Amino acid sequence: MSSAEPTEAEPTEAGATEQTGPAVREPGRTPRPAAPVPSPLPGLAESARRLADATTTSTALVADALARIEATQPTLNAFRHLRAEAALAEAAEADRRLAAGERLPLLGVPVAVKDDTDVAGLPTHFGCDGERPPAASDSEAVRRLRAAGAVVVGKTNSCELGQWPFTEGTAFGATRNPWNTAHTPGGSSGGSAAAVAAGLVPAALGSDGAGSVRIPAAWTHLVGIKPQRGRISVHPHSDSFQGLTVNGPLARTVADAALLLDAVAGAHPEDFHRPPAVRAADAARRDPGRLRIALAWRPPLTLTGAGPDPEVRRAVTALADTLARLGHHVEEARPRYGLIGLAFVPRATVGIAEFAARHPEPALLDPRTRSALRTGTRLGGRVVRAARAREVRQHRRIGALFDTSGFDVLLTPTTAAPPPRIGRFDDLSAWRTDVAMAAACPYAWPWNVLGWPGVNVPAGFTRSGLPVGAQLLGPSRSEERLIALAAQLEDDLRWFEHRPPV
């Protein structure tokens, strides 16, 4: 059901009450008296354990998630659509299956997915204004979530067509950062990140076409995994955003992110990319061994002169020192990015143009989207094919860091800046928005061009309490090594002990 439809109040086993009324408060609506708000939900693995041990029920967890979503919607605005009635019915069915002795990795656990992902019965707005028909069927990733037993409670906000590292738009307003609601949680998976950071759901799916999982993970103190291209199906799209975009998990711990990755990984029969399977959850319990880690401060050429903010540099330096203390060899290095941006821009803008062309009311699109549509139309055909053909050479040139120089992992800041304030990008032209984005987020997107995996890990906080992150990047199909290293860092730094003040 959509977020504009009311739901009936039901008591939960945790003693809280789901508030009645819409999940998204309508402008001018008289607020109801506040109902008790449940505590933040436990993590994914812990929720699954409690359900298997019968110390809670799926109905209780789902009802608590719905109540917490509604209570925070006026401030965080993390969700575009809720499935309140359907999710509660699915939770009751999960409880029956659990009582009968059935066990699945996520049976009865509430999760959320980004609103670029088809969920049967809900429209896929992908951050856009206007009306869309409900999806006739689940995407492959959602089908796999359901097969693992998860209960999808709703769809989280994304900026328009996933273009920007902020989650704001005329269609839904601004999604805000649980650590400081004057700031963005990042984008384009900002709704998923805000929902997980605030404990509205144990974990959520996002998508990453230029850092859109890793950037909001960095700015909300989460683990975010951008897997190898093809690891998680993007079907019904066969090659989303010209191969740049992949789906990936956001969670508070490495184990939770790995569990979600295992649950949704796998190809649809029509998918182009089919990497061999990994066992992410096993990797999260494995010692990574002693690794050679390259620390890179210089981002690829963006013509902005961007470098890391001093507070970002301080946090990532401290993380590098931790890696050295844990026994790894950490050395500054410079990946040979070359002019990789010349391959990224055609692929990104053609991808935007392909999605924008499907919009039934193009006049409702942001002027910056329409500008990208025009650029993408010009760069289609021969230009984008040439950009994609360069990928093999880019693999060799940048891959020399691993193959020739002998490094196992590349460590960089995830972003050059802490999370910007809400409205920072308002009223900017398309060009000025692109320049501001490139200056704030110059590090993540090359790995989308390459199709290789990366993991954001929390790197700490600025002096004003804003989260920042670092990314562990690897060569092709290296998720297990990155996950094992991230888990070792987590064991030492215990970042999951810190929660936002929402």
pLDDT score, position 36: 73
pLDDT at residue 304, rounded to an integer: 81
Q: Tell which residue, 460, 461, 483, 489, has the closest CA to residue 325.
A: 489
> How far is 287 from 485, CA to CA, in rounded Å?
8
Confidence band, pLDDT 50/70/90 cuts, at residue 21: very low
pLDDT of residue 49: 98
What number is the average pLDDT over the span 257-275?
97
pLDDT at 413: 98
Measure the CA angle with vertex 478, ends 472 and 483; round to 5°.
55
Span 275-296, pLDDT tens digits: 999 999 999 999 999 999 999 9
Query: What's the pLDDT at 502?
Result: 64
Catalytically active residues are 114, 188, 212
- The mean pLDDT of 172-195, rounded to a whole number, is 98
Q: Which of 488, 456, 490, 495 has the alpha carbon at shortest distance from 473?
A: 456
Q: Is 413 in a helix, a strand, or coil?
A: strand
**Do residues 7 and 84 touch, judged by C-beta distance below 8 A?**
yes
pLDDT score of 238:
86
**pTM for this model (two decimals):** 0.93
Does the pLDDT at position 24 exceed 80? no
- pLDDT tens per residue across span 200-223: 999 999 999 999 999 999 999 999
pLDDT (tens digit, 9 = 90+) per residue, 79-137? Answer: 999 999 999 999 999 999 999 999 999 999 999 999 999 999 999 999 999 999 999 99
pLDDT at 34: 54
pLDDT over threshold 60, residue 16: no
**Backbone phi, then psi, for 255, in 5-degree steps?**
-60, -40
pLDDT of 290: 98
Q: Which amino acid is at 144?
A: R
CA–CA distance, 156 with 165 (Å, rounded to integer): 15
The mean pLDDT of 258-269, rounded to a whole number, is: 98
